[in-house]
């Protein structure tokens, strides 16, 4: 709970810093606050996990580990923000404040134990993001992205709420423990409950961007400022998945036969739509948007084969995916600044100009593609292994085909960096020190998790 209170206070303090024009203090104060938050989360590690505050939140290992991941990734994004926000807007403190509040929502979603908290967490997370996506007020693409994200977000909230209402109508409670008891003990489960589960599934699939509810994802990720895209595609997505995982692992396991076919269909559509459309893209940013859809499909594996290992598999996968995305978007910011474009061609000859950037981006792409010795491989391996345990061979074959398709478009950018010549008119760019720290740090972490996955698995 200390973590959530710290973030609330931090957001308000940052707003006041903006009011008193203390622009240079913004980043240090924010980072300090995030460190304190991680401290509170780590301190609660060995406490007994009981629902707190009348069963509203629970800080078990699942919530704590994913919360720490979210806070660390936010810290990395914040470090990248120093040079970035100055160029696109004057409202610096509002940026920091909104990102912090969005992170707060993510932490609530990670630790909910009552549907009221799930709803509030998702809303706090999304409402802050609606503003962040549209923060470039005169840019039409940013406007369009904000409007689409708002409309789709509100629309999916409607489904989520209708689902929660039907579950309440069937069981008379919003509390996860009581819902669990209802599912396990009642002899005939009301049809309302099944309808509620389906609607809840629709609402959550909207939030994680799984097909056929994915259509907003590419447009929003494309139109938003790059740094906000990286925040959205990592922290928000990971938190929504934890919401998914907690609901299914505590309440819905006994209804396995009912939701497995639905989820399998969603996964297969998601994998194919994400990967095949990513193949056709000419913009790196849009390719990353579609690849995030396909990664949503892989992460749903953890839910379809739910068991004791699914949380740790998802943690490794989410960590790998988040680190690689932060690297990819960080490099994209630098490349866009020197060439003014987000297309694959703008990466031509990067290996000559900036060998370090090319190397870290290669590591990130290999990790996203799932090549051994990177974190992405370990994540995919663990998730696939779980599915294998539940004998879903068809799904596994389809997933491997999709992983192979993924290798093609991830390596496209690597080929461009190393084997194509750059056009002449590329500005020489100085890489800021904070970027170097973040990019190299994330790349090293990716390799460490890839070689010693036990370092992170010991946590769960």
Q: How far is the CB of 27 from another protein (least distance, A)?
A: 26
Q: How far is the CB of 124 from another protein (least distance, A)?
A: 8
The residue among 280 and 415 lying less far from another protein, judged by its C-beta, is: 280
Q: How far is the CB of 254 from another protein (least distance, A)?
A: 23
The residue among 115 and 241 lying less far from another protein, judged by its C-beta, is: 115
Tell me how crowded residue 234 is: count the other CB atoms within 10 A of its CB: 27
The residue among 126 and 339 lying less far from another protein, judged by its C-beta, is: 126
Cα separations in angstroms, 51 against 117, 128, 260, 283: 12, 27, 28, 46
The residue among 158 and 254 lying less far from another protein, judged by its C-beta, is: 158
Rounded to 10 degrees, the C-alpha dihedral 127/238/164/179 comes to -140
Q: How far is the CB of 291 from another protein (least distance, A)?
A: 14
- CA nearest to 234, candidates 169, 121, 328: 328
Tokens 């559509």, residue located: 269
Q: Confirm if 61 and 127 have CB atoms less than 8 A apart.
A: no
Q: CA 69, CA 315: separation in Å to the nearest integer?
A: 8
The residue among 105 and 370 lying less far from another protein, judged by its C-beta, is: 105
The residue among 75 and 203 lying less far from another protein, judged by its C-beta, is: 203
Q: How far is the CB of 139 from another protein (least distance, A)?
A: 8
Handedness of CA 33, 236, 372, 435 (dihedral sign): negative
Q: CA 80, CA 358: separation in Å to the nearest integer?
A: 17
Q: How far is the CB of 227 from another protein (least distance, A)?
A: 18
Q: How far is the CB of 157 from another protein (least distance, A)?
A: 8
Encoding tokens for residue 350?
């990067």
The residue among 201 and 399 lying less far from another protein, judged by its C-beta, is: 201
Q: How far is the CB of 194 from another protein (least distance, A)?
A: 14
The residue among 124 and 300 lying less far from another protein, judged by its C-beta, is: 124
Q: How far is the CB of 32 from another protein (least distance, A)?
A: 28
The residue among 58 and 314 lying less far from another protein, judged by its C-beta, is: 58
Site residues for another protein per CB under 8 A: 115-116, 119-120, 123, 126-127, 130-131, 134, 137-138, 140-141, 143-148, 150-151, 154-155, 157-158, 161-162, 164-165, 168-169, 172-174, 192, 218-219, 222-223, 277, 280-281, 286
Q: How far is the CB of 128 from another protein (least distance, A)?
A: 9
Q: CA 189, CA 259: separation in Å to the nearest integer?
A: 14
Q: How far is the CB of 372 from another protein (least distance, A)?
A: 32
The residue among 287 and 399 lying less far from another protein, judged by its C-beta, is: 287
Terminal C-alpha separation, the chain: 20
The residue among 162 and 381 lying less far from another protein, judged by its C-beta, is: 162
The residue among 131 and 268 lying less far from another protein, judged by its C-beta, is: 131
Q: How far is the CB of 222 from another protein (least distance, A)?
A: 5
């Amino acid at each position: 709970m200390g973590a959530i209170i710290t973030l609330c206070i931090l957001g308000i303090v940052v707003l006041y810093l903006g009011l008193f024009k203390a622009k240079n203090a913004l980043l240090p104060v924010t980072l300090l606050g995030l460190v304190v938050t991680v401290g509170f989360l780590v301190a609660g590690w060995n406490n007994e996990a009981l629902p707190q505050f009348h069963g509203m939140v629970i800080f078990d290992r699942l919530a704590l580990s994913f919360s720490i991941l979210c806070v660390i990734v936010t810290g990395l994004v914040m470090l990248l923000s120093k040079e970035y926000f100055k160029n696109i807007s004057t409202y610096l403190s509002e940026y920091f404040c909104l990102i912090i509040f969005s992170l707060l929502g993510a932490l609530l979603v990670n630790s909910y134990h009552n549907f009221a908290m799930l709803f509030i967490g998702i809303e706090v997370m999304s409402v802050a993001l609606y503003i962040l996506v549209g923060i470039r007020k005169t840019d039409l693409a940013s406007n369009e992205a904000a409007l689409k994200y708002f409309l789709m977000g509100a629309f999916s909230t409607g489904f989520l709420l209708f689902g929660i209402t039907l579950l309440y109508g069937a069981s008379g409670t919003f509390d996860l423990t009581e819902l669990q008891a209802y599912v396990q003990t009642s002899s005939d489960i009301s049809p309302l409950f099944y309808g509620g589960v389906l609607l809840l599934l629709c609402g959550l699939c909207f939030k994680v961007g799984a097909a056929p509810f994915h259509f907003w994802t590419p447009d929003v990720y494309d139109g938003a400022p790059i740094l906000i895209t990286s925040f959205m595609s990592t922290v928000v997505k990971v938190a929504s998945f934890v919401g998914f995982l907690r609901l299914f692992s505590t309440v819905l396991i006994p209804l396995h036969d009912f939701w497995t076919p639905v989820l399998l269909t969603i996964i297969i559509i998601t994998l194919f739509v994400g990967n095949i459309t990513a193949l056709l893209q000419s913009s790196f940013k849009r390719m990353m948007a579609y690849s995030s859809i396909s990664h949503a499909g892989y992460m749903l594996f953890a839910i379809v084969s739910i068991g004791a290992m699914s949380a740790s598999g998802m943690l490794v996968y989410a960590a790998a995916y988040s680190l690689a995305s932060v690297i990819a978007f960080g490099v994209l910011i630098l490349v866009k600044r020197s060439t003014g474009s987000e297309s694959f061609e703008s990466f031509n000859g990067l290996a000559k100009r900036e060998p370090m950037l090319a190397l870290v981006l290669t590591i990130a792409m290999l990790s996203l593609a799932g090549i051994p010795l990177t974190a992405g491989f370990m994540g995919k391996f663990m998730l696939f292994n779980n599915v294998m345990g539940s004998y879903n061979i068809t799904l596994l074959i389809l997933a491997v085909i999709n992983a192979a398709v993924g290798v093609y478009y991830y390596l496209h950018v690597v080929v461009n960096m190393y084997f194509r010549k750059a056009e002449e008119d590329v500005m020489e760019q100085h890489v800021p020190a904070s970027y170097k720290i973040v990019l190299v740090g994330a790349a090293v972490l990716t390799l460490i998790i890839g070689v010693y996955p036990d370092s992170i698995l010991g946590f769960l």
